[in-house]
Structure 1
Amino acid sequence: MSVDRRRPLLVRVLLQPAVAAGLSLNDWDLLLRQARRANLAGKLAEQMDAGGWLDTLPEPVQPHLRSALLLSRRQVQMLRREVDLLRQTLAELPGPLILLKGAAYALGGQAAALGRLFSDIDLLIPSEQLPRCETTLLVHGWAFDDELDAYDQRYYREWMHELPPLHHERRGTSLDVHHTLLPPTARTPLDTRALFESPRPLPGLPGVFVLPPEDMLLHSAAHLFHEGELHNGLRDLFDLDALLREFGAIEGFWPRLAARARRIGLTRPLWLALRYTRSFLDTPYPDSLPDELGPPPGALALRLLDFSYARALRPDHDSCRLPGHDLAEGALYVRSHWLRMPFGLLALHLARKSWSRMTAAPKAPQVDAPGKPAGDR
C-alpha cells in the first residue's frame, strides 16, 4: 500500500484507514491528539468502526474512539429534538427554515455527517423575516451572548450575514441565524434569492428544509474559503471531500454544480475547494470542471494562497506545523476581512479589534480535557 508520509498522520489514516492496523501505541497517541485538535476524532472512530477494526485496536485506544463514537451519535439524536423545538417556536414565520452545515448534513443524511461534531445550529431565513424571528426567539428563552459589546452588535447587524450568536438559556443550545451566505458588504456579489428557490424538505420536520446538493456544497466552499479563523479548516475540507464524492455520483451533478456556482456567484470559492480537496485529499471530479468556473487567481495570488492553505489546512497540533504557519494564518485572516468589506470599513474594523485585544484582560490558562496532558497541542 502506498502511503504519502508528507501528509499528517491523521490525514493518512482517514484517507487509508487500513494504515491504522500497523500503528504502534506511540503512533496512536499522536493520532488521537491530532484528531482531537482537528475536531475529527468522531470521523476517525466512525471509520474504524465501519471497517471492522475497532475491536482489534490496542486496548488503551478503544475507549477514546468509543467515547467519540458515542458522543457524535448522541449529538445527532439531540439535534433532531432541538430542531423540532426550534421548528415549533418559529412555526408562525411565513417562509422556510433552512438548516445549514453540520445540522443539514446530519438530518439530511449526508455522508459528511458521520462522526462529525458541531457546536451550534445554523439556520437560513429570508432577510425580511429577521425582526420577527429575533423577537420570537427572545420571547422563547433565547438570548444573545453576553460578551458582545455595542460595536460587535453593530458589526453583526449592519455588516454581517447573520444575527449575533444566540444561546438557549435553559437548554444551552447555540444558534446562528443567517439571512444570506456571505456578508452584504462582501466583494463577491451573491444572488441570495436563488437559495430559496428549491430547498429540500426534511421528512418528519414540516417547514424545515436543507439546501439542494449543489447549493449545500457551494455553501460549504464559501464557508471555508471566506473564513480567516481556520481552527476547523481540515474538518471542513473533509466535509467538502465527502460532499463532492457523494453528490458526484448523482447523474448530471457536475454541470449543474458549475452552472449553479455561476448563477449564485460562488465560482471562486468552488474553484479553491476543488483545488485543495484534490491536493490534500485526492478528491475525484472531472478535470475540466475548474475551467468552467472562469479564470483562476493570478500566478502571484495563487502562490500566496497555496503557501497559506498548505499550512492552515492541517491539524492544529505542533507535530503538523510547517514553517511560516503563523504568517499564513495572519494572511488568511486579513484576506477574509478583505473579502468581507470595503477598504475603509476594513481598516476601521481591524483597528477597533486590535485595540480591543490590546486592552482586554488576560485570559485564564487553558484547561485540558480529562485524560489529556496539559499543554497538549
Structure 2
Amino acid sequence: MADIVFKPYLIEHVHSAVVTARQTKEGGSVARTDRHLSPYREDYWQVGGAHQALIAAAKKNRAIDFARRRYRRFKYNPQSPLHKRIFGTVSGSQSWNLGALHGAKVEWMAQSNCVWDFPIVESVSRPSAAAASRDQKACQEIILNFLKDLEVSVEQSFGVLIETAAVAAAWTERLASLEPVYEGARQKTNAQFQYLVAAMGNSFIRAVSLGGIDAGATVTGVFHGHHVGYKNLADYCYIEFGACNEFIGPTTKGANSLRDVANHFEFTRGKIESFKSLETCTYHDLWIRHQGTLKASQSRNVMILGFPADDIRYSYGAGLFNPIRLDLEIRLCRTLRASGYKVLYKPHPSSINLSRALIQDEVDE
C-alpha cells in the first residue's frame, strides 16, 4: 500500500523481458542507451536504493528543511491570528499538512481553525529493530508469492521466463526504507492528530499517512484535479483512497462520483470512511475573470501542452506518456504545420530535456 510507485517498474520489467526474448528469437537485438529509457531497465540497484538516497539527502539538508518548515507554518496559516502563527513556528502542532499546496487544498485550509505544520516526510523516521524485522519478513513473503504468480502468468501468456530475484531484492529494500518512516508517524501521532494530504502517489507521504491511521489519526486526502477518465480504473482507489480515512472532492457531485468509484470496485482494502465536498468554483472564476480581456481574433499559433514522459510519476490513465501518445503528438504537430499553423510545444516540467530530444524537430518553438 505504501510503495505504489513500484508498479510501473514491474510493467517495464515484463515488457523488457518479452521484447528482448522476441528480438533474440528473430535474430535481432535490443538497443540500450546511456539514458536508460524505459522499459529497458537494468539498474534495479538504483531502484531499490531510491528511498534511502532521499532519506540521506534529507539528513544533509536538515537545517534548510527546518527553516523551510517554520516559514511554511507562518505563511500558510493566514486563517490563524498573527500571535498564533508566530507561536506556531516554535511550538508543536497536531495538524500535519503533507504534499503539494494547490487551490482546493489551500481553500480547505483557509476554512479550518487549525495551525498547520509542514513536516518533512523523509525525516519522520524512528527506526525500530523489532518492527523492521517483523515487517520485512512479512513483506518478503508477500513479494515472493506475488512474483512467483507473476512469473507463471508471464510464461503462460508470452512463453517467457522473467528474472525475479533482482526485482524482489529492490522491492524489499524500498519497503524496508519506508518502515522507519511509517513507524515514526505511528509513534509520534495519536487520535487527536489530523493530516491534510495531497500527492498520494508519494511513497513517503503514504507511509506517514498509513502510520497516522494506525495510530488513530484522521487522515484527509484532497482532490488533486486530475480525475478525468478514472471511472473505470481500479488502481485509482488504491492510489487516492488507500492511505486516508476521508476524502475531499471538488464539489458535492464530485465527492459523490468519487464515492461511486470506490463502491464500483468494492474498495475495502483501505480504511476510508467518508467523502466530503469543497464547493470550488475554479473554472467559473477563471471564466469571469477573463471576460472582456480575451478578444476574439484569428490566430495561426497553436500551443500543445505535452504530457510527462514519465510512467513512474503517472502510471495510470490520461497522464501516461507512452509510444501511442508520442505518436499522437508528433502526428498532431505535423498536421498543424502542414496546414500552415505555427506550433509551440510546452513540455511537462518533469521531462523537459527528454521532450526536447523527442519532439524539437517537429515544432516551431
- The question of a shared fold, defined as TM-score above 0.5 by the shorter chain, is answered with no
**Greater Cα radius of gyration, structure 1 or 2:** 2
TM-score by length of 1: 0.31
